[in-house]
Structure 1
Amino acid sequence: MNLDTLGATGPQRQAIETLDRPLLLCAGAGSGKTFTLQQRIAYALSPESGPAVEGVDRVLTITFTRKAAGEIKSRVRSVLRENGMAEEALKVDDAWISTIHGMALRILREHGLELGLPPRLAQLEEDRAAELRQRAFDVVLRESEGQPESPLAQLIAALGATGKGSDARALTFALMKHGDTLTAGLDAFDFGPAAASPSGIMRQAAAGLEEFLAGGGSPKQMEKAEEALRQVRELLESSGSLTYRQAAAALAGLGLPSAQGKAKEAVRALKTSLAGLVMECVLGCNEAVAESLMAVARRVQEEYGALKQEADCVDTADILRLAYRALSDRPLLRQQLQQRFQLIMVDEFQDTNQLQIDLIGLLCRPGLTNLCTVGDSQQSIYRFQGADVNVYLKHKRQMTGEAKARSLQLDANFRSHGDILAFVRRICGAPGFFSEDFLDLQAGRNEEKAAASGAYRALAPRISVALTSYGSKQRGETAKTAFAKQQEARHIAQWFARLRMAGHDAGDMVLLLGSTTHLDVYADALQQEGFSCHMEGGSGFYGTAESKLAASLLRALVCPLNTRDLFEALSGPMFQLSADDFMTLSTVVKASGEQCAEVRRRSIGRPFVVGDGDGAETEETDGEVLQPLLPAPGAALGRVLEIWCRAQATVRRDGPACALRQLARESGYFSRLQEEGVTGQAKAANFLKAITVVEGLQAQPGAGTAQVAQRYQALAAGNEKLGSLQGDGGQSVRIMTVHGSKGLEFPFVAVADCYTLRPESGALLCAVRDGRAAASLASSLGDDGLKAAFEKARTTVKNDEEGAPGLPPLARHHQGIREESAQEGLLEKRRLFYVAATRASEAMLVSLCVNNTKEGLAPKGVQADVLGALFGEEVPRQDGTADYGGSQPLEFAFIDADRLWNEQSEEEREETAGAAEGRVVEYPPLSPDPAPAVVAGWGDGQGLVSYSSLTGCEGGALEGAQAVLEAYVEELDGPIADGLQEAPAVQPEGGAPAPVSPTADFGDGAGEERGESFSDRDKATDFGGALHRLCQLDALTGEKGAWGRFEAVADAYGVRQRQRLQEAFARWLASDVRREAREWEWVQPELSFQAQLGANTLQGEIDLFCANGPAGEGGRAFVVDYKTGGQPQETARQLYWKHRLQALCYAYAVLRQGFSEVSFVFVRVEQEDAACPGQPQVVRYRFRRRAT
């Protein structure tokens, strides 16, 4: 193997050749570490190295993901073949190249017999593991019933009716999750020293007050201190058994001197001292809670283990712990594996935890001589999964110290242009940005080659920074914040648009987010600029709980009487209905007078398909009146019924994707996930991926909700990758989380929402130190008063720079964990920004949204780092440039959201505020109402009818239907109103007159409904469907958004005649009717309706519905229907009669809702109006309710 021909850098070659000692390889972003690893394996097997390794099966390579393992296997196989080692290449598939969990599971399976493990040991998927944990907790919960002294009963009593994340179940699972990453498990937790007794704490308070009085102060200060001392002494003397709660309340209620005058510092010290004692009292209340929590966690873990053993399964934590114990307890097995692996390489070592490092250490030979670790502390971003960068830093010190490892840095970046690296250096290279020295990446790619390929064609600088400023305390906080995010998103979309104008593909553009909270805002902005966009996903998506939830919701929306799917949807994380709720849903009572004569069962889906969803309707069965049980006023069940019924209406109107998004928003599902931090954001991203998939499916021809649900299920069964579903993926902007982008690269990257910390919201605080977990419970778990006292005390201590060292032991323990957690959180955010910035290869936009307070801009976290590194303390308030060390200054944009907000009208502000609050804008409902008084003698009452199906009725039946319609609807300004009731005839060339049917096939919308061919190459239903979809997009996103989706829509409907479709759509966009429609207050495309018509139900779908306000007296509506095809020789009279029945049916449905008047316009988008060139032909009608 000739290393001279590899083109490796000096450090890469040294890493490849170092096989006889430990190797610590620090590999920066884009530095070619995968290349180095694969070449190192090949060189170790080559004759040039000895060979140092006897076979590829003697090499252990551990990767962070299965995808990375597969990539390394593929590359190693190729390199071995290229270097004449074909026999070794054949062994690669069975080589020890896997994740650490894959490696550990393989060890357990190979040695299962001697370890006493079942022969078919299976790994639990996470959703199944979560289910077993829930069952285990339920077992312990049942054991505690009637046992008030049991640990779980005491834990529940202590927690009380607390808020999110603080209940006994969640607290127990949080503790177990932390323990899974530690070698000692639950035994690793330390809840700190014991608190002093309540009386001892009060005596300390008395001593502090006495010390202050001895030092002296103003008369008023002395008087206040003496009164406080009197109260403390009185409590000590009068209370025989003082509790922590009493002591905390007494100390928090003391009136203390003001910090002013000569005794100012003494008063401040006194207040800090007493605040620390308040904290100690509150934390003392939690000591018994911590003991109960540990006992419950051990018991739940025991029961969880029994359930796993019964199923012959292990979870991910078990795999590592069982492998560790096997190697620790069996020296022969450990020696056997140490001898097997001549070379051990571990990639992404910065994302390991103590248990993983300890397990790897057991596999290494003495002195770690066969170990090579590859990592970069600047890219450690998986703290939320238990990764601990401090463990990696400790490992680095061990390797360079006692192990005497060779330490090498791969700092040549082959990915990014030098300007991007210079910007990263300016921000991340600042002193103190990282916890260790900055790994400064140097540009290593061939810029001449990149320039020749047109990698960057734009004229603007490669680096852009945008600052959106807003004042959250002025004119409504929610609206201003939401408006600022809209302006930020708009600027990002415009940045991408400029790149598109320069000739770059949308598929090369990526928006990286640290949080998915505002994902919809960014997606809307991109669509307004004519981009399609999608969330990027991976192959394991369909196995996630969120994908399964979406599938259940889809099937339940199709048929709520499918009780299995409905139960899964309602009992899952979105709605979380209780057993009592399901009892209410499934119960009706047989009424006898005013008495309840009999209780009966019914399907839980019945309330979701009967009436209006409020659960108040009665049911009649065989003459009996059955009254359902009603949810309590304001109960969760009543709210769920309302949300579900709105979603069903949305399905009919906008399709299942919109309904899923609405359910997630209105149920609070997205809000709850955001409170879970990064883990919750990953779950939200999964559900949003599901919505993206559904959007793609419903855009396919002939895809109703039932078909979408079936196709989604089929995709799940095949476990296809999300990316393969994006028909226009090559021309679609990708939106990804920064975590999801790890290891990838993209030409053009915009970065947003990854700068600030979310406050700690859980009840359990943890900090890992040397394999031990320092733990503490939140300030107060069941008493809001104590919590307020604690937070006030903690603020006092925090404001005193010298206060923390003087805290009592337990308070100091708690405060230390908080401060350490906050610092680690900030460092993690900095690393997250570094990872995001180093994904870009050609150009990057860093977008910041900063609050503007009375004191000025108030950037937080990494926002402050970025602005401080670029501008110091004086951040400009206008557009400009800034030097950062690149080839040209960066482009800086200042977006004053306050100014833009103030330029808006009151109506625009209200609209923004409503969007921020998640307000549901309800369009006028078009749903069944009581049957009209006129009784028609037609139809069998067994089905639904449409206007087109009426034309196929016998003459008498059609006349009966028309009689019902015209008894309710009066036409204005038309031939009927003028007394001209005779239908005209068409005179074809060379033939006799022929009657014109309302659905005569001139190739327009009527023919499309029957699926008749327009031509051999382009079915009318495909063409018409595509045109309707484009017009719908125009109504929803505007002209740019519709044109941006043109190719995708045409592809989805299989339209080959693109020029014809473009001309028809352009004619609609230029029409006076479109301008007229946009002037109405309410505009809604594709609005479905049903209305009782005699003994049948009339159904249909309005292409574009407009109204001047809610239905009612004076309410007017305007309806547009698009028609394709048609013949130029049709006269105005012929067209009038051709479409009149449809207009009459739709007018009937609209007027039945309470509107006083409705106007109809049929727009023939393929036929030009001879009298108005450029305009489409139109057919107009106007109706009102007939006076009775």
Structure 2
Amino acid sequence: PEVVPAAAALHAAARDALAFAGAVKRTSKVEKCLGLLADAVAATADGRPPTEDEVAGWRFSSKPLAGPEIDAYEAARATLERRVVEERFAHHYEYLGELVELFGEEYSRRKDQRSALDFEDLQLCARRLLRDRPDVRVRYQRQFRHLMVDEFQDTNALQLAVIRLLHLEGGVRQNRLFTVGDELQSIYGFRHADVDVFRAQREDSARAEDADAGVRPLTGNFRSSPEVLALVNRIGRSLFGAAYADLAVGALGAEGVAGEGPGAELLVTEREGWDERDAALEISTDERAQPWRLAEARFLAERLRELRELGVPRGDMVVLLRSFSFVEAYEDALDRAGLAPHVIGGRGYWSKQQVADVRNLLGCVANPLDEKALFGALASPACGVAPDTLWLLRQAGGGAPLWSAVRWLFGPPPGPADGSRPPDTEDDPSDWSAQVEEIGGHIPTDDRERLREFVSALLELRAEAPQLSLEGLIERTITATGYDLALLMRRRGRRRMANVRKLMRLAREFEADEGRDLRAFLDHVESETEGDAREAEAAVDAEGHDGVRLMTVHSAKGLEFPVVAVADLGRSLGAGFPPLLRVEPAAPGDDARSDDGRSASGSEALRVGLRLARLGRRQAQIFDYPELEQRAVAREREEERRILHVAMTRAERRLILSGVVALVKLDREPRPTEPLIGPVLRALGWEAGRESVEVEPPPLRPGLEGAAAPVRVAVRTRAPGDEPASAPRYAEP
């Protein structure tokens, strides 16, 4: 870390800022700022590196003093603060590097034990084989006269290296390479797709002198109606600028708009005010969803219900979401509207209540002294006692395990090794049993009967468990406790039971790989749950199900639907915690690195950023973290806009965009992480109160005769007080 140069830079910046501030009208706040600037100048004058606390103390709000000199001062101050922290804590990166290295070694060892390869191994091994074995490389180069790479926008540098090893030998072309891709379809950054690889290859092809080389743009769209394309093009030009090429109408279809009215529309839901008591929002099955998100989901469901009543089949409609974080809110709203929603793919399976219930029941079978599992099982439909009863049981046991009290009160006469004998305490065991029976006497009669049945079933299950497969144990558990019937009697019981059946299948697969080990399976389920592993809910509807489909944009890529509703555009970008470590390959010329992107040692040069958490202090972003974070946010913003473009271009005859926005904040300066609904509304030039916006028609592809008229985009709004007094429920037709 270069502390001394950073201190000198701050000294110069503070002097400039002090000179600038001297001409500003004096107020108490300005005087305070001047004092801090003077302190910074004095402390850095003798070349002594200041402490972190000193540098942090020179921070002040720029509101009293605004100008480029003040901005330069704050940038220099932040840099010096980062350098001081780096000098003190840089060795932590070495610890982290050692940890990552140890992890890599252990991961490799476990793969070797299983003779396993992961996806990255397949790519790395393919590159190594072609690079290090000229005979193999030449044989494949001669075997293929043509190489075609589809979805080229979703490749990365490693995959490009494999392609070039098959295509070039000593820089000389050995066969013909044909790539197909669309920059605006690059939406797999989380799988390490790098759109810059596509851009660079496109530029190389455009500059190539070979007569056979070149770039052939394709802009004709044979899927979407002119109304849909008009909205897509207006938003595309605004989001992507001059690089965006308007999509042209490929064919003038005769089917017309799905339903009545404009084929392109926006549903705008006010963000503020839904927490008020008079907002008519019924309880949703998605308890995590914010009130404004529930309002948007129900507004969208109402609109799709209207289309259904106008004759649009439910199976022609799809709701596309960026993620399934709050899919239950939309599923519930569509279900209330009688649209028979069908969730396709996604994740969230491990967090379902049914999975948690069965995990708790199995945890009790494995060890009834597991308090968390026992509490969860007693509260689940397998037993279903009241919260007050759970509290009484906890009090009855005193300091003893919960199972001791439950087994003593509701099981057969206790034995010495069944976990129900009085705990080892200094008190007389008879005193403990008397306390248990006294407090247990307050438990309601209905709950006492439920507890007797549960304890009896659990003791039987514990006796049978060693003789059953994991799949068989789950089935025996849900039938013995009556959990299966209780689940089927609930709303969406078939969906809930299908998730349990899926857990049985997963248990069978686990046993085939790892053996019959109940504790290991429970640990596996807990690990998948805590890690939010990607696992979709069980499918309960047939392929031809006549209902509105709910899909993520990624799962819909390559598909098309008559009516597409792109929802949750009020979702903030950049949600969640940023990573502790950011690493990127260094670009040629970065810092003192060589032009080929290598470090002085000859290895690949990297840029590293570390988010340092310290006890009692603010987190510190050190090394290159601030710049890498800024780049990451910019890349994410670009990809989110491409994801929106992919979603919109799935529509054939009607496109609906739906999102939540605080209307009073719409005119404020855009933020890098603002929800997409803001840029969409600004692209259309929409103002509150307007019911429609006119946009220019899309161009026609060359050779297509006709003319397209300007398109009217309908805009519907929903605010607290506009919604129906109560959401109507519809029976499924």
Smaller-chain TM-score range?
0.5 to 0.7
Residue 750 in structure 1 maps to residue 565 in structure 2: yes
Partner Cα separation in structure 2 for residue 732 and residue 695 of structure 1? 26
Amino acid corresponding to residue 713 of structure 1 in structure 2: M
For residue 734 of structure 1, what is the aligned residue in structure 2? 549
Instruction: Give the counterpart letter for 1:786 in structure 2.
Output: R
Which residue identity does 1:757 align to in structure 2? L
For the residues of structure 1 that align with 2:249 and 2:267, how far apart are their CA atoms? 25
Distance 1:551 1:475 in 2: 32
Give per-residue Cα distances to partners, 1:878-904, cap 9 Å, x unaligned.
53444353654111112223x559x99
Tell me which of the two structures has the higher relative contact order, counting C-alpha pairs closer than 8 angstroms and 6 or more residues apart. 2
Find the partner of 2:613 among 770, 781, 785: 781
Find the counterpart in structure 2 of residue 713 from structure 1.
504
| CA contact 1:464–1:891 (8 Å) conserved in 2 | yes
Look up the match of 1:470: 271
Counterpart of 2:150 (choices 342, 347, 356) is: 347
Shift of 1:710: 5.1
Any residues of structure 2 matched to 1:738-1137 within 5 Å, and which?
738-754=553-569, 756-759=572-575, 761-767=578-584, 775-783=607-615, 785-787=617-619, 813-853=624-664, 860-871=674-685, 875-885=687-697, 888-897=711-720, 899-900=721-722, 1039-1040=729-730, 1043-1044=731-732
The reply on whether 1:625 has 2:431 as its aligned counterpart is no
Which residue does 1:123 correspond to in 2? none
Residue 359 of structure 1 corresponds to 162
Match of 1:488 in 2: 296
Where do 1:455-534 residues align within 5 Å?
Answer: 456-471=257-272, 482-534=290-342
Q: What SS does the aligned partner of 2:315 have?
A: helix
Partner Cα distance (2:369, 2:645) in 1: 44
Question: In structure 1, how many angstroms separate the alpha carbons of the residues matched to 2:263 and 2:196?
Answer: 35
**1:496 and 1:866 mapped to 2: Cα distance?**
21
Stretches of structure 1 that go unaligned for 5 or more consecutive residues are: 1-194, 571-595, 600-605, 630-648, 653-692, 792-809, 909-1036, 1047-1188
Structure-1 separation of matches of 2:40 and 2:90: 28
Structure 2 SS opposite 1:359: helix
Q: Deviation of residue 838 (structure 1)?
A: 0.5
SS of match in other structure, 1:355: helix
1:355 Cα shift? 0.5
Contact 1:560–1:608 (Cα < 8 Å) also in 2: no
AA matched with 2:58? L
Paired position in structure 1 for 2:386: none
Q: Is the alpha carbon distance of 1:766 and 1:464 closer, same or farther for their aligned partners in structure 2, counting shifts above 3 Å?
A: farther
AA at the equivalent of 1:867: L
SS at match of 2:617: helix
Give identity over the alignment, percent: 25
* Aligned-residue offset at 1:835: 0.4
SS of the equivalent of 1:731 reads coil
Change (3 A) 1:479 1:514: farther
1:661-709 Cα shifts (integer Å, max 9, x gaps):
xxxxxxxxxxxxxxxxxxxxxxxxxxxxxxxx99998799998999984
CA displacement, residues 294-348 of structure 1 (integer Å, 9 cap, x when unaligned): 2322232122212212221111111110111111111111101111112211111
Alignment gaps of 5+ in structure 2: 282-288, 374-398, 426-446, 451-483, 511-534, 588-596, 598-603, 698-708
Tell me which amino acid in the other structure corresponds to 1:467.
V
Structure 1 letter corresponding to 2:306: R
CA–CA separation in structure 1 for the residues paired with 2:178 and 2:558: 20
The verdict on how the C-alpha distance between 1:548 and 1:436 changes in structure 2, with shifts beyond 3 A counting, is same
Q: Deviations over 1:1062-1115 (max 9, x none)?
A: xxxxxxxxxxxxxxxxxxxxxxxxxxxxxxxxxxxxxxxxxxxxxxxxxxxxxx
Q: 1:746 to 1:368 in 2, by over 3 A?
A: farther
Distance 1:714 1:696, change over 3 A: farther
Residue correspondence of structure 1 range 377-392 to structure 2 within 5 A? 377-392=183-198
**Alpha-carbon separation, structure 2, partners of 1:518 and 1:548:** 12
Using the size of structure 2 for normalisation, the TM-score is 0.67
Cα displacement (A) at 1:552: 6.2
Cα-to-partner distance string for 1:144-203 (whole Å, 9 max, x where unaligned):
xxxxxxxxxxxxxxxxxxxxxxxxxxxxxxxxxxxxxxxxxxxxxxxxxxx213x55445
Counterpart contact for 2:271–2:292, Cα < 8 Å: yes
Q: Distance in 1 between matches of 2:492 and 2:38?
A: 83
1:1142-1157 equivalence runs, <5 A = none
Q: Secondary structure at the match of 1:409?
A: coil
- 2:216 aligned residue: 408
Could you tell me how far 1:753 is from its partner in structure 2? 2.2
Q: Which moved more, 1:553-562 or 1:337-346?
A: 553-562
- Contact between 1:852 and 1:858, CA under 8 Å: does it hold in 2? no
Query: 2-side partners of 1:204 and 1:721: how far apart?
Result: 54
Name the aligned partner's letter for residue 266 of structure 2.
V
Shift in CA distance, 702/516, structure 1 to aligned 2, threshold 3 Å:
closer
RMSD between superposed Cα atoms in Å: 4.8
Deviation at 1:740, TM superposition (A): 1.0
Q: Sort the Cα spacing of 1:820 and 1:288 in 2 relative to 1 into closer, same or farther, 3 A.
A: same
C-alpha offsets along residues 704-737 of structure 1, whole Å, 9 cap, x if unaligned? 9999845763598799998963059522111111
Q: Tell me the equivalent position of 1:304.
A: 107
**In structure 2, distance between residues paired with 1:881 and 1:267:** 43
Of 110, 113, 119, 1:316 maps to 119
Alignment-derived partner of residue 434 in structure 1: 240
* SS in structure 1 of the partner of residue 173 of structure 2: helix
Distance across 2 between alignment mates of 1:853 and 1:774: 44
Instruction: State the one-letter code of the partner of 2:264.
Output: I
1:411-422 map, 5 Å:
411-422=219-230
8 Å Cα contact 1:485-1:849 kept in structure 2: yes
Q: 1:362 to 1:835 in 2, by over 3 A?
A: same
How many matched pairs? 576
Q: Structure 2 counterpart of 1:217, which letter?
A: G
Pick from 170, 187, 203 the counterpart of residue 397 of structure 1. Answer: 203
Find the residue that maps to 2:312 and give its secondary structure. coil
Aligned equivalents of 2:630, 2:242: Cα separation in 1: 19
Given that residues 271 and 661 in structure 2 are in contact (C-alpha distance below 8 angstroms), is that contact kept between their aligned partners in structure 1?
A: yes
Q: Which amino acid aligns with 1:357?
A: L
Q: CA deviation at 1:769?
A: 6.0
Q: For 1:835 and 1:424, how far apart are their aligned partners in 2?
A: 10
SS of residue matched to 2:148:
strand
For 1:514 and 1:565, the matched residues in 2 are separated by: 41
The CA deviation at 1:858 is: 7.7
Q: Which amino acid aligns with 1:627?
A: P
Question: What do residues 91-134 of structure 1 show as CA deviations (whole Å, max 9, x unaligned)?
Answer: xxxxxxxxxxxxxxxxxxxxxxxxxxxxxxxxxxxxxxxxxxxx
Shift of 1:851: 2.2
Is the CA contact (8 Å cut-off) linking 1:368 and 1:403 kept in structure 2? no
Does the Cα contact within 8 Å between 1:553 and 1:566 map onto a contact in 2? no
2:666–2:678 Cα contact (<8 Å) kept: no
Question: Which residue number in structure 1 is paired with residue 22 of structure 2?
Answer: 217
On the 8 A contact 1:767/1:774 being kept in 2, the answer is yes
Structure 1: how far apart are the matches of 2:369 and 2:177? 53
Shift of 1:751: 0.5
SS in 2 for 1:747: strand
Bigger CA radius of gyration: 1
Could you tell which deviates more after superposition, 558-567 or 298-307?
558-567
Secondary structure of the structure 1 residue equivalent to 2:240: coil
User: Equivalents in 1 of 2:493, 2:641: separation in Å?
Assistant: 48
Q: Shift in Å at residue 417 of structure 1?
A: 1.1
1:512 to 1:319, Cα distance in 2 relative to 1, 3 A: same
Q: Deviations over 1:612-634 (max 9, x none)?
A: 9xx999997337833399xxxxx
Provide the residue aligned with 1:249 in structure 2.
Answer: 53
Which structure shows the bigger proportion of residues in strand conformation?
Answer: 1
Partner residue in 2 for 1:1172 = none
Equivalent pair of 2:145/2:175 in contact (CA under 8 Å): no
Question: Does the 8 Å CA contact 2:502/2:538 hold for their aligned counterparts?
Answer: no
Taking a change above 3 Å as real, the CA distance of residues 434 and 888 of structure 1, as seen in their structure-2 partners, is: closer
1:445 aligns with 2:236: no
